[in-house]
Structure 1
Amino acid sequence: MARVSQEHLDARRRQILDGAARCFARNGFHGTSMQDVLKEVGLSAGAVYRYFPGKEDIIAAITEETFAAIRGAFEEASRMTPPPTPDALLGRVLGGVLAGEVHGLERRSFAALVVQLWSETLRDERLAALLEDGYATMRVAWAKLVDAYRSAGILVSDVPGDDVARTMIATAQGFIVQEALFGDVHPEVLENGLCGLMSMNPQKIS
């Protein structure tokens, strides 16, 4: 009997995850059955269950990959020298992530999938742990980026780095939610908005 190559196994796993992601993006996790997934990927139940014992395991794998893709993009951007300002960095990273067709999804479908994953973490401890780990890692990466801003003389405020990090993460999350709900939210809108906020002169407020 011929031995199945690792490349074949990886390709089959990818086929299942991408097909399931399309189903979930269209109908939600609870509106999608394993039969729907099997039909989407064109495989038998035995072929799919060889990789994933059930739907929850597929959801967990998609969650891990999706959060890793977003986290990895921000970590890579945070290592750039000199560091881009927050407006340019967020616009570049989110534009790249949403246009990257993760799981073969268009940008609004991918954003909708991310929002669903976030909501699932409220009821699933395994998914919540994945999100918590990714969030903690991103906070560390952004705090390091704040240090780089200060070293470069870009940021003069003494606001704690973690406060800035959490605010930037919240901005990115809000952008993804807008794309999921309304669509057609372009990264340059985020860049322009942040650039405008950053250009405020606090001396004029007092």
Structure 2
Amino acid sequence: MSPLFSRQDPSSRGLGMTSQRARDRLVDRLVAEGIRDRRVLDVMRQLPRHLFIDEALASRAYEDTALPIGQGQTISQPWVVARMTEALIEAKLPRRVLEIGTGSGYQCAVLAALVEQVHTVERIDELLRNARRRFRKLGLSNIRSRHDDGRLGWPDEAPFDAIIVTAAGAALEPALLAQLATDGCLVAPVGPSGRQGLLRVRHGDGGFVSENLGAVSFVPLLGGVG
């Protein structure tokens, strides 16, 4: 694979606990924990996760754990990012992906390195502005972003080949299912805190077919904008 983030400045390369060696160790842990898709692993080996969190937490960037990013939100555990991405692209590599919940931008950046176009929606303006700066710094030009209520999706750009939701709702949002193309795939955490499952939904000619990929823990999917 050719370098994915060719416009990185020196801070992207990292030192010590944020170095390439730290990224390699993280990928080794992901493999040991069951992640198998080499495309996903290659992206996560190259992507500088330390740029997506506060500098004070940079030394923990390549731990396999969620970390706070402000506004009551977190950057997801790397294993969860890898598993959701792997589940989304397992059957086929989608061309256009809708992400609900930009957050730090890390999940979006992983997807942008794999697919033709990512549309991402974030309800918290400050988080979205920070994520946009990171996308520019990494030279990710195939991302379109929007400040809006993620539960509404992005109907003007629908249908999407795949949809990924990075916060947990009590149920799947009908508006998002309506924006999923036939033969498309949606991956989302669903359920109350402490009882969330990661669902993968495929849209076939006969309707929607859902499978539970296992227990997860996410912040709640909220409405409105901030």
TM range (shorter): under 0.3
TM-score computed with the length of structure 2 as normaliser: 0.23
Normalised to the residue count of structure 1, the TM-score between the two structures is 0.25
Higher-Rg member (1/2): 1
| More helix by percentage | 1
* Bigger relative CO (Cα 8 Å, ≥ 6 apart): 1
